[in-house]
Amino acid sequence: EDQVTQSPEALRLQEGESSSLNCSYTVSGLRGLFWYRQDPGKGPEFLFTLYSAGEEKEKERLKATLTKKESFLHITAPKPEDSATYLCAVQAWDAGKSTFGDGTTLTVKP
Partner 1 sequence: NAGVTQTPKFQVLKTGQSMTLQCAQDMNHEYMSWYRQDPGMGLRLIHYSVGAGITDQGEVPNGYNVSRSTTEDFPLRLLSAAPSQTSVYFCASSPRLAGGEDTQYFGPGTRLTVL
Q: List residues binding partner 1 (CB under 8 A).
A: 4, 6, 9, 31-32, 34, 36, 41-46, 49, 87, 89, 91, 96-103
Query: Going by DSSP bridges, is the β-strand pair 56-59/62-66 parallel, antiparallel, or unpaired?
Result: antiparallel
Minimum CB distance to partner 1 smaller for 44 or for 78:
44
Q: How far is the CB of 100 from partner 1 (least distance, A)?
A: 4
Q: How far is the CB of 96 from partner 1 (least distance, A)?
A: 6
Of 98, 76, 77, residue with least CA distance to 87: 98
Helix ranges (H only) for 12-73 are none
What span, in angstroms and rounded, lies between the C-alpha atoms of 59 and 38?
A: 16
Minimum CB distance to partner 1 smaller for 55 or for 76:
55
Minimum CB distance to partner 1 smaller for 38 or for 76:
38
| Three-class SS state of 81 | helix
Query: Going by DSSP bridges, is the β-strand pair 104-109/10-14 parallel, antiparallel, or unpaired?
Result: parallel
Q: How far is the CB of 110 from partner 1 (least distance, A)?
A: 25
